[in-house]
Structure 1
Amino acid sequence: MELIKQNTQAQIIKSILVIFLGSVLLAVSAKIKIPFYPVPMTMQTFVVLFIGISFGYKIGVATIGLYLIEGIAGLPVFSNSPERGIGLAYFTGPTMGYLIGFLSACFLASFVKLKDNFLIIFSKLILAVSTIYIFGILWLGTLIGWDKPIFDLGVKPFLLAEIFKIALLVLIAKKILKFRKLI
């Protein structure tokens, strides 16, 4: 009985550590801007999907949740903070829908399995990342008005970078899953 209690406590501590380190990784990925066409790219969506694949949905969604709480609490973890604001004021700005979409994307990415072929992995990751943009344009349209070219502003500039990041994840997804089984 004591051994079970110790194993449970060790698993909880391990999970908390993984969640914290994942939120740090996501914050770092938000700050690194890579020159890309037509707009610079961050690796945030790559890390969101990576977290879903490598941590599974429970730990993955908890990680994204912690990241969002950190940002709402005022830590400068979001992509353009503190330059464009911090905390709840930044969170409720134009990027709120995308940030909320991180939760669904991470959840859906967790359904990538070792037995999936590359096309299935690609399809699952496209679906997952699409939810980021669906939530993003729904919020953006509500915020700035539906009379604006929402797709052209909030999705189109990022499509090429997303395809690049997803292709990279497809290539390493099985390695990530094999490593996850070892932990």
Structure 2
Amino acid sequence: MTTILAPASRAFDPLCIAGRSLPMQAALLLFGTGVLALASQISVPMVPVPITLQTFAITMIGVLYGWRLGALTVLAWLGEAMMGLPVLAGGSGGLAPFVGPTAGYLVSFPIIAALAGYLAEKGWTGERVVKSLLAHFGANLLCLVIGGAWLGYLIGVEKGLALGVTPFIPGAVLKSALAAALLMALARGKAKPLDL
């Protein structure tokens, strides 16, 4: 079954999203917002922006759900945050994070989910580990560019780069490598028949 949220078929679709009904896709969306909320609580405190597993979870949701459902899941999670639910890093929520130092990163999140999902739909995932790594790293870099630009606007370009971009590049590489490795393992596991 095809819905607005998922294309008729995808080369990499380990969760069989394309064949799921609209209610099942809605359930996956809600599950995804929970995963994002949980990933947001796993953080290393830094000023002015903490390091979290948010971008790892966001790009993985984009790849596993496809760009449409992935981006919509991230938008729903951000909507939960705007309504005051404590789903962002440090248990924050409300409108303040959307106008403070983290606003640029938050704006980038649905974009990077869509980018990672789009590239996955074009074959940049699974067994193609280098392309998968590049897709995740590219999405992470885009997040840093958008987030760093907003931070630079608030505190100056030099400080924005020093506090909001440079310290996060090694983490982006590690998260991207982990995502590529997990997706390769998932693709290989899916290809093997199950022994019952």
Report which of the two has the higher share of helix.
1
2:129 partner amino acid: F
**Quick check: 1:53–1:177 contact (8 Å CA) kept in 2?**
no
Trace 1:128-143 onto structure 2 (pairs within 5 A): 128-143=139-154
The separation in 1 between residues aligned to 2:107 and 2:127, in whole angstroms, is 27
**1:58-110: CA deviation from partner (whole Å, max 9, x where unpaired):** 1100100001101111111110343xxx3112221110110111111111111
1:120 Cα deviation after fit: 1.4
**Quick check: 1:74–1:87 contact (8 Å CA) kept in 2?**
yes
Structure 1 vs Structure 2: percent identity of aligned residues?
A: 30
Equivalent pairs counted in the alignment come to: 168
The separation in 2 between residues aligned to 1:41 and 1:50, in whole angstroms, is 17
**1:141-182: CA deviation from partner (whole Å, max 9, x where unpaired):** 222233x4211110111121111111111111234457899x
Equivalent in the alignment of 2:194: none
Equivalent in the alignment of 2:114: 107
1:55 Cα deviation after fit: 0.4
1:115 Cα deviation after fit: 6.7
The separation in 2 between residues aligned to 1:152 and 1:18, in whole angstroms, is 37
Report whether the alignment pairs 1:167 with 2:177: yes
The separation in 2 between residues aligned to 1:153 and 1:134, in whole angstroms, is 12
Unaligned runs of 5+ residues in structure 2 are: 3-19, 192-196
**Change in CA separation of 1:127 and 1:27 when aligned onto 2, cut-off 3 Å:** same
The separation in 2 between residues aligned to 1:115 and 1:158, in whole angstroms, is 25
**Change in CA separation of 1:164 and 1:35 when aligned onto 2, cut-off 3 Å:** farther
**Quick check: 2:126–2:185 contact (8 Å CA) kept in 1?**
no
Equivalent in the alignment of 1:98: 105
**Quick check: 2:141–2:172 contact (8 Å CA) kept in 1?**
no
**Quick check: 1:49–1:109 contact (8 Å CA) kept in 2?**
yes
Higher normalized contact order (CA 8 Å, seq sep 6+, divided by chain length): 1
Equivalent in the alignment of 2:25: 15
Unaligned runs of 5+ residues in structure 1 are: 5-9
Trace 1:28-177 onto structure 2 (pairs within 5 A): 28-33=38-43, 41-82=51-92, 86-110=93-117, 111-112=119-120, 113=123, 114=125, 117-146=128-157, 148-176=158-186
The separation in 1 between residues aligned to 2:110 and 2:53, in whole angstroms, is 16
Secondary structure class of the residue paired with 1:76: coil
**Quick check: 2:102–2:147 contact (8 Å CA) kept in 1?**
yes
**Quick check: 1:54–1:176 contact (8 Å CA) kept in 2?**
no
CA RMSD of aligned residues (A): 2.7
**Quick check: 1:122–1:170 contact (8 Å CA) kept in 2?**
yes
The separation in 2 between residues aligned to 1:91 and 1:40, in whole angstroms, is 15
2:104 partner amino acid: G
